Amino acid sequence: MMSEHLCKIDIGDIDLTDQRYQISFSNENIAFLGQSIRETGMIHPPMVRPLNNQYIIVSGFNRIKASIYNKKDTILVYTIKPDADEYQCLLKSITAISFKRQLSQAELIRSIKLLNKFLDEKQMADKSAAIFNMELNAIFIKDLLNIANLPEPALELIHKGNISFKTARRMQFFQQETIKSFLNIFSKIKASNNKQLEIIQYIEEISKRDAISMEVFFQNHEIQKIILNEKSEPLLKTKLIRENLYKLRFPTIFKTRQKVQRKINNLKLGNTIKFVPPENFESQNYSISFNAKNYIEFKANIKTLNNVLENQKLEEVFNQ
């Protein structure tokens, strides 16, 4: 049986470069954790494993970093017996988190990848409740393993929320270079799950329709310009990329919408009157609406509409 004992060690004796058991992601603002430890002390001491006259971290990577940030020379840790095997240490590192809080998707993927050295999907599924504090089936674990094999920085982007689990799952079927290009795009934008999937779908469909590889598509000048613009915010980039992709995927619909919108704008209906053409121009239901707080506003809107009736451009809106 393996057991740990609590002791104080020199931080300098810890090999910070050995991250073999790291499940959690680096805490970007280590100062907050440092401040918390200063205020309340180390509530859960990290766990370390003696190895080659040094210690390697099993759990508590961020807590040790925070202690260094606090300029501490020593730290209270649990040390694992030197003869503990790799598998047991890995289990310690995972369960130290999973029974304290739910693992994030990225942590779960990283854990599964590390565990796969010792267990196959079915074995992991059988032990999932004891390791992850939740039941997972073998098919889902296989999906996670596929995602774990995506090139860097896929996992980091999942952790940051730049790519969703569904997006990562969709990307696994592409060639490595294509995946890298998508990761490059998603690292520079901030899109919801649906928007991420829409971006992938449009790029895939445009490439297939135009009989070009996605790699060739990624060289698209407009897309490159948006991505490489350092001054533009991720949300704005997302909006511009989506607009651009829609224009390429549905050129006629895009042009028609723009044309009709221009014509509607030229009618000068003002801000209070809304003139909406049928969705996708499939039905013939055009709608016009306005709000009026009083009779004067109501009359003013009616007057505007009467004036528009004299405008020849109005009829053009109805004839696409």
Partner 1 sequence: MKIHQLFIDNACTRNDEVDYIISKLNIEPQWVDNSQPVYDFINNDSDPILKAKKTLFLTKNRGAVIKECPGTSFYTCCDYTILHTGTFCTMDCSYCILQAYFHPPILQYFTGLETFGQNLEQIFTKNQIFRIGTGEYTDSLIWEKITLQPKFLVEQFATQNNSLLELKTKTTNIESLLDLDHNGKTIIAWSLNTPDVISSEEKGTASLKSRLEAAKRVEAKGYKLAFHFDPMVIYPGCEEQYQKVIHQIFKYVHPENIVWISIGSFRFMPRLKQVIEKRFIDSTICYGEFILGLDNKMRYFKPLRIKLYRAIIETIKEYDPNILVYFCMEDEEVWEKSFGFFPKRVGELGNLLDKSAVRHCGLNSLFL
Question: Cβ of residue 252: shortest distance to partner 1, in angstroms?
Answer: 5
- Residue 307 found at the interface with partner 1 (CB under 8 A): no
- Residue 205 found at the interface with partner 1 (CB under 8 A): yes
- In this chain, which stretch among 139-147, 201-209, 223-231, 301-309 interacts with partner 1, using CB under 8 A? 201-209
Is 39 or 282 the residue whose CB approaches partner 1 more closely?
282
- Residue 251 found at the interface with partner 1 (CB under 8 A): yes
User: Is 317 in a helix, a strand, or coil?
Assistant: helix
Is 282 or 310 the residue whose CB approaches partner 1 more closely?
282
For residue 168, how many other CB atoms are within 10 A of its CB? Answer: 27
Is 251 or 270 the residue whose CB approaches partner 1 more closely?
251
Question: Cβ of residue 129: shortest distance to partner 1, in angstroms?
Answer: 32
- Residue 271 found at the interface with partner 1 (CB under 8 A): no
C-beta separation of 67 from 11 below 8 A: yes
- In this chain, which stretch among 126-134, 221-229, 265-273, 275-283 interacts with partner 1, using CB under 8 A? 275-283
- Residue 306 found at the interface with partner 1 (CB under 8 A): no
Question: Cβ of residue 280: shortest distance to partner 1, in angstroms?
Answer: 4
Is 12 or 251 the residue whose CB approaches partner 1 more closely?
251
Is 87 or 318 the residue whose CB approaches partner 1 more closely?
318
Minimal CA–CA distance to 182: which of 193, 194, 196?
196
Tokens standing for 261? 């919108």
- Residue 209 found at the interface with partner 1 (CB under 8 A): yes
> Distance (Å, rounded) from C-alpha 312 to C-alpha 267?
9
- Residue 280 found at the interface with partner 1 (CB under 8 A): yes
C-beta separation of 145 from 121 below 8 A: yes
- Residue 256 found at the interface with partner 1 (CB under 8 A): yes
For residue 21, how many other CB atoms are within 10 A of its CB? Answer: 22
Bridge-based pairing of strands 74-80 and 4-10 is antiparallel
- Residue 246 found at the interface with partner 1 (CB under 8 A): no
CA distances to 101, 125, 183, 267 from 111, rounded to whole Å, are 14, 13, 21, 61
Is 205 or 215 the residue whose CB approaches partner 1 more closely?
205
CB contact burial 202-219 (16+ within 10 A = b; e otherwise): bbbebbeeeeeebeebbe
Question: Cβ of residue 255: shortest distance to partner 1, in angstroms?
Answer: 10
Bond from prior residue into 153 cis (ω within 30 degrees of 0): yes
- Residue 281 found at the interface with partner 1 (CB under 8 A): yes
Tokens 């073998």 label which residue?
A: 138
